[in-house]
Amino acid sequence: KLLGALKTFKAPGAAPKRYDNSPPMTEQELTQALAAGEVIPYYQPKVDIRSGMLKGVEALARWMHPERGMIPPDRFIPMAEQTGLIHELTLVMMRQAMSQAATWHSRGLAIKVAINLSPLSLEVPGFVQKILTMIDEHEVDADQIVLEITESSVVANLGNALGTLARLRLKGFGLSIDDYGTGFSSMQQLARIPFTELKIDRSFVHGAHSRKNLRVILQSALDMASRLELVTVAEGIETIEDWRLLQDSGCAIGQGYLIAKPMPANELPTWLKGHHRR
Ligand code: C2E
Ligand code: CA
Ligand code: CA
Ligand code: CA
């Protein structure tokens, strides 16, 4: 009986979050949605944890379905990766994020725009050239764009990813290790990739003020990152306690619902006004 219970035990958070009970999205639906411009970025602010100043935004995919409403990425990114549609999705997201970055910069808002990359994209022949053509077309500088890659995916594909990442870094793109602390990478593996930023996973950030072990891991990751001269980012800051703890731990940049939820591009100026008044 115990064995049965153990077999069905699932670690918390292991099951994908379901937001509704509608049937899963199909490959065909996503293909059409991408062509129709239904997949758009929402932007979540990344702010300086001391001054509160806006430093950048992260682009997060949202599928604006005409009948079902907004579909979150957890419901279609895994399918996109299985079917290969992720390559088109990455390009669609990049095009919009770069065009938005150019608009913001032309209005004097010099913030970095981060884009999530699937590890699969790093293996596409000609991927680097495609991105370079795109930044030329949109007249943005590579150093205004940050590419976020999850720690787990980097480790799994290090051989393939390394060359592509090194070339992107040489061109000036920022490279961020996403979800740090969940991927079991070794220091040796990470040291081989020219990262510029380390994003501590939400599970360390949110639990840290009540759990000493998490706090110790968090602090040592921050210490290591700053010695490697990486920009440190804490994601998933939800409470004022989280914020203060990260501030005291010397983290540079914060992101989370406490500061702002992801929002459409046109809401950013209004948020910024209210944020500065605080
Ligand atoms: P991620 O890159 O780790 O992004 C952070 C996720 O945490 C986002 O969920 C964001 O909305 C959410 N979040 C931000 N602040 C808080 C907070 O304070 N508390 C909590 N509980 N959550 C917070 P979202 O937008 O649903 O995205 C989920 C994942 O889907 C992303 O995780 C990323 O891995 C993937 N994803 C999203 N957009 C893209 C994309 O354009 N391309 C690729 N390849 N993956 C994407
Ligand atoms: Ca991310
Ligand atoms: Ca993350
Ligand atoms: Ca994540």
> Is 14 a residue whose pLDDT tops 50?
no
| DSSP H stretches of helix in the chain | 2-8, 27-35, 77-83, 86-106, 127-138, 151-156, 158-170, 187-191, 202-207, 212-227, 240-248, 268-277
3-state DSSP of 83-128: HCCHHHHHHHHHHHHHHHHHHHHHCCCCCEEEEECCHHHHHCCCHH
> Is 246 a residue whose pLDDT tops 70?
yes
**Ligand 4 centroid, distance to 271 Cα (angstroms):** 24
- Check residue 159 and give its pLDDT: 78
**Ligand 2 centroid, distance to 115 Cα (angstroms):** 7
Region 167-172: mean pLDDT is 97
The band of 157, judged by pLDDT with boundaries at 50, 70 and 90, is confident
pTM: 0.92
> Is 140 a residue whose pLDDT tops 90?
yes
Q: Is residue 179 within 6 Å of ligand 1 at its C-beta?
A: yes
Smallest CA separation from ligand 1 atom 4, residue:
60
Q: Is residue 207 within 6 Å of ligand 1 at its C-beta?
A: no
CA distances from 17 to 72, 203, 272 (A): 10, 16, 30
220-242 pLDDT, tens per residue?
999 999 998 999 999 999 999 99
Neighbours of ion ligand 4 (CB under 5 A): 179
> Is 276 a residue whose pLDDT tops 50?
yes
> Is 15 a residue whose pLDDT tops 70?
no
Smallest CA separation from ligand 1 atom 30, residue:
73
> Is 156 a residue whose pLDDT tops 80?
no
Q: Is residue 122 within 6 Å of ligand 1 at its C-beta?
A: no
**Ligand 1 centroid, distance to 115 Cα (angstroms):** 11
Using CA atoms, how far apart are residues 93 and 89, in angstroms rounded to an integer?
Answer: 6
Q: Is residue 45 within 6 Å of ligand 1 at its C-beta?
A: no
The atom of ligand 1 lying closest to the CA of 61 is 38
Torsion sign across C-alpha atoms 238, 199, 174, 33 = negative
- In this structure, the number of other CB atoms found within 10 A of the CB of residue 141 comes to 12
Smallest CA separation from ligand 1 atom 34, residue:
116
> Is 176 a residue whose pLDDT tops 90?
yes
- Check residue 123 and give its pLDDT: 85
Q: Is residue 71 within 6 Å of ligand 1 at its C-beta?
A: no
Structure tokens at 200: 């501590």
DSSP 142: G
Compare 245 and 154 and report the one with higher pLDDT: 245
Compare 221 and 11 and report the one with higher pLDDT: 221
Region 103-118: mean pLDDT is 95
Using CA atoms, how far apart are residues 198 and 195, in angstroms rounded to an integer?
Answer: 8
- Check residue 248 and give its pLDDT: 95
Of 157-161, 175-179, 192-196, the least confident: 157-161
The atom of ligand 1 lying closest to the CA of 80 is 44
Ligand 1, residues 40, 60, 253: which to mutate, most atoms within 8 A of Cβ?
60
> Is 175 a residue whose pLDDT tops 70?
yes
Cβ–Cβ < 8 Å for 93, 59: yes
Region 201-205: mean pLDDT is 92
Q: Is residue 254 within 6 Å of ligand 1 at its C-beta?
A: no
